[in-house]
Structure 1
Amino acid sequence: MSTVGIGQRPQNRRQQVVKLLWIGIWLAYLSAPVGDLLHGGHSDGVAVLGWIGLVAFVVWYFALVFRTGRGETNAVVLGSVAVLGAQSTVLSLTLGREWLVLYVYVAISSGAALPFRLARWSIPVVSALLTAVALVVPGGTAFLAGLLFPALLGGFSMTGVRELIRTTIELREARAKVAHLAANEERLRLARDLHDLLGHSLSLITLKSELAGRMLPGHPEKAAQQVADIEQVSRQALVDVREAVTGYRRPRLAAELAGVEVALSTAGVTARVPAEPDLAGVPEDSEAALAWALREAVTNVVRHSGARRCTVELLRRQTLDGPMLELTVEDDGTGGSGEGPGNGLTGLTERLEKAGGTLEATGSRRGFRLVARVPAGSATDVGSAS
């Protein structure tokens, strides 16, 4: 992950640099205190102390922002915010109204670093302190209207962003947990199905093997019949297992479509995919062949094409050969090598021909276009790119 959210600890140097640059941009609003130190007519001693105070404020501010998320208690973070507030008060009272802008940073850091149950009180307290100091500092009331609203808005905006990031993280964790539970459920279902398929057959094989062993010395003809029955049962069990495994390995078009947008977006490709299709009446072989075609096409787009946009369409068309289900994957890339994982385009052609379909793949300067067609069950539209 290249970026880090508000209230989160940077995990690597890149995230530290990104966060440093993002925070550094907003330090431009310190131009008022800097201008006061340079052109405010302060004595050299006061100016030096002012620079020291400003640097100390910025350093503490950065420390608060970067240390957040390292396991500190709310009391430690709240104490850090209080230190920033005290620095702002001392600098504003001693150097003038230009320094009131520091309270905006205090309010924003409070909203970004504290949980909402504390920030909803600390932000108004900081704003009230800003108001009180502005009424005391000469000319401060002229700056109050321009600073009070940004302090309140910025502080509570940070609480909203922080909660949004926290919710997003929780949703990702929940999604990962759901996927893990789904995988466990699928393994349990496979175990149940294999038990149902093989339990009876293996029990029967065991029973007949025992009978054959007992019959073999005195009744070889009956023993041979039991052995023939064992062979028949074992062959049927093998067929059942192969059908079950083929069913589990068979890709589903709806599942492949659901993963297309995620895969393309992760690769930085803008995707347009159809809504969940109605595949009623479509033969399983046709659906599986299109699912393989979609998987190979998207893999080629991600790995080889260098495309920025990709459009996926799924339509039913009435042809002279009957209703056909047509899948189109078109991108604006270079066309790539045309060979994805597995069998590539040659394997796709053979797979589609086995299902009674066809494959067309054409490349040009404007990109690459793959069209796969398989027999369908009816002649109504399935959907189009949304």
Structure 2
Amino acid sequence: MALTKEAEQVPGIGVVGKPLSLRQQLVKCLWIGMWLFYLSAPVTDLIRGGHSTGARVLGALGLAAFVAWYLVLVFRTVPQMAVERVLVSLAVLAAQATVLSLSLGREWLVLFVYVSISSGAALPAEVSRWTVPTATALLTATAYAVPGGDAYLAGLLIPALMGGFAMVGIRAMIRTTMELREARATVAQLAANEERLRMARDLHDLLGHSLSLITLKSELAGRMLPDHPDRAAQQVADIEQVSRQALVDVREAVSGYRRPTLPGELAGARTALAAAGVVAKLPGEGGDLPGELTEEQESALAWSLREAVTNVVRHSGAKRCAVSLETPQTLEGPVVELTVRDDGAGGQAVPGNGLTGLTERLEAVGGTLSAGPAGPAGAAGTSGFRLVARVPLGSRS
């Protein structure tokens, strides 16, 4: 039975596995070093505990061996270390902690906390859920065998249990995070593959027949040219007509791929305004959008939103921008009304700055565009700017 490769190569927090970069190594060292703070009790006992010189030397060597074994276990670099080897290492740690505690006193009981933590960090959950309570039980038995150890027991039981199971939880959280990242990458790859397949199918459907016809007519024109130049000329004219139609079809297909959508432009507007330091108020990017717009109408509104937000970011100097999307009822029927209002410098709409193109797009789908000052100038001399794009509601094609 071996640990999985994913569990061995945990980035970031790094309590299990080999770090993948210098930054991850530093994070891992800091995380492990934080737990070494508990060694202050046995170190202080070595210095001020009244032990003989021989006991101090042996205690220092034992503590150094314990720490080295512990660090090797939690900071190991061997991939797919077998659970049996980890259990043997934990048994060695537990034996060292027991011998040092019985020999030098209750201050050394804290070593069992490291046994519990290392078992939670180095073993899978199905094993560590048994080893952590076992290490805590061994701590309890040793504490009652050491003079005065029961007084220290209350302060060590919770760190041993919580520390060990905290490592189990962190390990599971990191594994879940890695699985989610892999799942996201897989979904993105599948979406990209599906889009490529869709484009390939569309281009095949658009150009397959046309290119086959062009090839056939080219061969016919080549055979007719010496004896029947007039018929060959007719074939060439047909080739030209088919080629032009194929070009139109490809342009329409590419235009469809590039057509902006309201959800996409709302998301882009939120990002652009936030990057420019403009406080944005936007409608929902999903369910709040009208569902009866044709693709051409939605595209016209999306272009209007993009142009308006671009002007807010580049020219207005605004601090706030509000975007609303409503469906009021008019005498001509229901319309979708996109309004973009800011508190910037304001002013009259200047033809030629993109508004002319927007007007033409909206008029092509039966819509209208109005742009100008949002209201009378305030104390700061600014009135803000407002752009309103309207399109009639239609059935989605």
Q: Smaller-chain TM-score range?
A: 0.7 to 0.9
Answer yes or no: is 1:166 the counterpart of 2:175.
yes
2:109 pairs with 100, 111, 130, which one?
100
Deviation at 1:28, TM superposition (A): 2.2
Which residue, out of 226, 231, 248, partners 2:235? 226
Matches for 1:347-358 after TM superposition, within 5 Å: 355-356=361-362
Which residue matches 2:380?
Answer: none
Aligned CA-pair RMSD = 4.4
Matches within 5 A, 1:283-298: 283-286=297-300, 288-289=302-303
- Pairing 1:325–2:338 present: yes
Q: 1:181 to 1:292 in 2, by over 3 A?
A: farther
1:90-128, CA deviations, whole angstroms, 9 ceiling, x for partnerless residues?
A: 111111112111111211111111111221221122122
Q: Secondary structure at the match of 2:17?
A: coil
Structure 1, 5-14 or 256-265: larger mean CA deviation: 256-265
Bigger Rg, which one? 2
Counterpart CA distance in 2 for 1:155 and 1:93 is 23
- Deviation, 1:195, is 0.6
> What does 1:372-383 align with in structure 2 at a 5 Å threshold?
374-377=389-392
Select which of 55, 62, 67 maps to 1:58.
67
SS in 2 for 1:325: strand
- Structure 1 distance, partners of 2:90, 2:321, is 50
Q: Which residue of 1 aligns with 2:145?
A: 136
Partner in structure 1 of residue 375 of structure 2: none
What is the distance in 2 between the residues matched to 1:259 and 1:105?
50
Does the alignment pair 1:13 with 2:22? yes
Note if 1:204 corresponds to 2:217: no
Q: Letter of the aligned partner of 1:280 in structure 2?
A: G
Counterpart of 1:176 in structure 2 is 185
Structure 1 position 32 matched with structure 2 position 41: yes
Letter in 1 for 2:299: D
Give the Cα–Cα distance (whole angstroms) in 2 for the partners of residues 272 and 75 of structure 1.
59
Query: Shift of the alpha carbon at 1:135?
Result: 1.9
Give yes or no for contact 1:316–1:376 (8 Å, CA) kept in 2: no
**Measured at CA, do residues 223 and 3 of structure 1 come closer, stay the same or move farther in structure 2, by a change above 3 Å?**
same
Q: 1:218 deviation in Å? A: 4.6
> Partners of 1:263 and 1:46 in 2: how far apart?
69
Equivalent-residue separation in structure 2 for 1:92 and 1:161 (angstroms): 29
Matching residue of 1:91: 100
> Alpha-carbon deviation of 1:205?
2.0
Q: Say whether residues 1:235 and 2:235 are aligned partners.
A: no
Letter of the aligned partner of 2:163 in structure 1? G
SS of 2:325 mapped into structure 1:
strand
Instruction: String of CA shifts for 1:280-302, please: whole Å, max 9, x gaps.
Output: 344243355268569979xx89x
Q: Percent identity?
A: 57
Rounded Cα–Cα distance in structure 2 between residues aligned with 1:158 and 1:126: 14
Matched to 1:276, the amino acid is G
Q: Shift of the alpha carbon at 1:185?
A: 1.3
Shift of 1:219: 4.2
Preserved contact between residue 324 and residue 376 of structure 1 (Cα < 8 Å): yes
CA contact (8 A) 1:315 1:327 kept: no
Question: Residues 151 and 76 (structure 1 numbering): CA distance in 2 closer, same or farther, change over 3 Å?
Answer: same
2:105 counterpart letter in structure 1: G
Alpha-carbon distance change, 49 to 376 in structure 1, aligned in 2, over 3 angstroms: farther
User: Whole-Å Cα distance in 1 between the matches of residues 137 and 16 of structure 2?
Assistant: 24
Cα displacement (A) at 1:45: 2.5
Amino acid at match of 2:49: G
- Taking the TM superposition and a 5 Å limit, the aligned residue runs for 1:41-56 are 41-56=50-65
For the 8 Å contact 2:221–2:236, the answer to whether it is kept is yes
Question: Where does the alignment leave 5 or more consecutive residues of structure 2 unmatched?
Answer: 1-9, 315-319, 344-351, 363-368, 373-383
- TM-score, normalised with respect to structure 2: 0.72
Matched, 1:280 2:291: yes
Question: What does residue 366 of structure 1 align with?
Answer: none
Distance 2:79 2:216 in 1: 65
Offset, 1:156: 1.6
- Cα drift, residue 191 of structure 1: 0.9
Deviation at 1:160, TM superposition (A): 1.5
Per the alignment, do residues 314 and 154 of structure 1 end up closer, same or farther by CA in structure 2, a change over 3 Å counting?
farther
Q: Conserved in 1, the CA contact under 8 Å of 2:321 and 2:340?
A: no
- Measured after TM superposition, the shift of residue 170 of structure 1 is 0.9
Write the letter of the residue equivalent to 1:286: A
Residues 303-382 of structure 1 correspond to what in structure 2 (within 5 A)? 315-316=325-326, 323-326=336-339, 355-356=361-362, 374-377=389-392
- Asked if 1:117 corresponds to 2:126, the answer is yes
Query: 1:326 touches 1:374 (CA, 8 Å); kept in 2?
Result: yes
1:246 aligns with 2:259: no
List per-residue Cα deviations over 1:227-247 (Å, max 9, x = no partner).
222211110100101111222
Q: What is the number of equivalent residue pairs in this alignment? A: 350
Tell me by how many angstroms 1:315 deviates: 3.4
Q: Does 1:189 align with 2:198?
A: yes
- 1:169-191 Cα shifts (integer Å, max 9, x gaps): 01101111111121111111111
Q: Structure 1 230/329 Cα, relative in aligned 2: closer, same or farther at 3 Å?
A: farther
Counterpart amino acid of residue 303 in structure 2 = A
What 5-or-longer segments of structure 1 have no aligned partner? Answer: 302-309, 331-345, 361-368, 379-386
